[in-house]
Amino acid sequence: MLRPLLRLSWYWTWTKGKASTLVPMILLGLAFVALGALVKYSRNDSSLVGENGYRFWASFSLTVLIPLLCVFRGVGLLREDIENKTLVYVTTRPCGRVFPFFVKWLVSVAALAVSGALTIQILFWGTVPLQQTDPFSPFLATIWDMRALLAAVTTYTTAGMLFSLLGKRANAIAVSYVLILDSLTVFLPGDLRLLSLKAITLSLCSSKMADAPSNELGKWFQQASNLNEVHASLAAVTLVLVSWGIIAYVLKNVEIGHERIAGAV
């Protein structure tokens, strides 16, 4: 049973996600590279290329671009079934109602991680060689950023599934969370910043390993990225487990045939 379910999940992830999340992630990475090259050769400004330029684009992608795409993907994992009121028809024997959605989540996270990894490599090889003669020396930064990428795709995709339980305005709520609430919680004092997915991601990415560009956005990245890495990793795992506990409870105990599931949560 698991093999057909995995095949179906891969097919669903590719057909539903290639136009909305997977391909746009790579295309936007190429656009960032082109912008950095344009600024360098038209204005003789190297701030968006080279090692520091890569770190800036990678941090921006990991905290804005990838989170937005991941929450959209997460919302999509449940939204169609909620809006069409078809969750009650999900096969309940022998795997139950939760397991098919967990497999879809797992496959989506894997696909987003692969697309994100390709985007990071595009950003690195598209920016670093434009300024440095030896691009291999800072290559470790991309390995460092893979940790942040994995944390981002798992936490934000899970958050998107939680938002999908809030009804028809799930996408608007998800965007507001990523761009506003999640950004504000970065500035909470001390370890309270572990409640911010953005702060967790920043604490694991390579922006900690070198100075960010000397502008306000760069200073914001530096201020937000000084969480303990072990604590950040544990916080990411905890948030995913707690979120999945809520999702599983709702799916198993609520008959979702109404216009809004939020009233039952």
- Find tokens 């959209």 and name the residue: 72
Q: How far is CA 242 from CA 125, 158, 199, in A?
A: 37, 10, 18
Q: CA-CA distance, 254 to 97, in Å (whole number)?
A: 11
Structure-token pair, residue 261: 């599931």
Helix 229-253 to helix 197-204 angle, to the nearest 10 degrees?
140
Q: How many CB atoms lie within 10 A of CB 263?
A: 9
Q: What is the DSSP-derived secondary structure letter of residue 179?
A: I
pLDDT at residue 19, rounded to an integer: 58
pLDDT at residue 211, rounded to an integer: 47
Q: How many CB atoms lie within 10 A of CB 68?
A: 19
Helical spans, DSSP H, in the chain: 2-17, 23-43, 50-60, 66-83, 98-127, 140-164, 170-176, 182-184, 197-204, 216-224, 229-253
pLDDT at residue 144, rounded to an integer: 85
Contact of 8 with 91, CB cutoff 8 Å: no
- Find tokens 């999702």 and name the residue: 247
Q: CA-CA distance, 97 to 91, in Å (whole number)?
A: 7
pLDDT averages per 10-residue partition of the chain, 265 residues: 52 56 84 90 85 88 93 86 60 64 88 92 92 81 92 96 87 93 85 89 73 53 69 95 93 59 43
Structure-token pair, residue 87: 């969750």
pLDDT at residue 254, rounded to an integer: 65
How many CA atoms, within 13 angstroms, populate the side-chain half-sphere of residue 173? 15
Buried b / exposed e over 218-254, threshold 16 CB at 10 Å, is bebbbebbebeeeebbebbeebbeebbeebbebbeee
pLDDT at residue 264, rounded to an integer: 44
